[in-house]
């Protein structure tokens, strides 16, 4: 098994929706973070260049996923606007699912036949506060 990691950052605000006991529509105060995202991509077989994937290709895919969120209020953007609470755990999950869905765009050998997949997304919300998503 082989793996690579790519780390990037984005800035965004969020306010978690509180349990119904706090009252209908109650949220914590809106606040922002400089989120750090680290994704781990694994495979069973290297491609023709003898890599899991080009780091720059993974960076590009992550950038395409995160750019719409940068300097935004996540509570106003789908899927967080209506369906999903914008917790660090759910943000990490959404990043991982979006990236997994886009791995087929990687150039070179077919990713399915090599077993290329997202193994983990680590999202640092604040120093010493990390959420991890593993499919």
| Residue 123 maps to a domain | yes
User: CATH no. for residue 83?
Assistant: 3.30.479.10
The structural domain count of the chain equals 1
| Residue 125 maps to a domain | yes
Instruction: Report the pLDDT averaged over residues 13-42.
Output: 88
Kindly tell me the sign of the dihedral angle through the C-alpha atoms of 69, 70, 76, 80.
positive
In tens, the pLDDT along 52-105 reads: 999 999 999 999 999 999 999 999 999 999 879 999 999 999 999 999 999 988
| Residue 109 maps to a domain | yes
Does residue 21 have a pLDDT over 60? no
Residues 125-133: contacts with CB within 8 Å, 24+ apart? 125/33, 125/35, 125/88, 126/33, 129/88, 130/88, 131/87, 131/88, 131/89, 131/91, 131/92, 132/92, 133/89, 133/92, 133/93, 133/95, 133/96
| Residue 99 maps to a domain | yes
Residue 34 sits in which domain range? 2-15+27-133
Lowest mean pLDDT across 21-25, 32-36, 54-58, 86-90:
21-25
| Residue 32 maps to a domain | yes
| Residue 97 maps to a domain | yes
Does residue 41 have a pLDDT over 80? yes
Q: pTM of this prediction?
A: 0.92
| Residue 20 maps to a domain | no
């Amino acid at each position: 098994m082989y793996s690579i990691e790519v780390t990037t950052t984005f800035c965004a605000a969020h306010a978690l929706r509180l349990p119904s006991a706090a009252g209908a529509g109650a949220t914590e105060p809106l606040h922002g973070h400089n989120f750090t995202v680290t994704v781990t991509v694994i495979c069973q077989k290297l491609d023709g260049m003898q890599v899991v994937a080009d780091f720059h290709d993974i960076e590009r895919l992550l950038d395409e996923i995160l750019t719409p969120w940068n300097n935004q209020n996540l509570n106003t953007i789908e899927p967080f606007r209506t369906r999903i609470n914008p917790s660090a755990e759910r943000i990490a999950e959404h990043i991982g699912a979006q990236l997994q869905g886009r791995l087929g765009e990687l150039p070179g050998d077919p990713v399915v036949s090599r077993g290329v997949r997202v193994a983990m997304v680590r999202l640092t919300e604040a120093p010493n506060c990390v959420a991890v998503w593993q499919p």
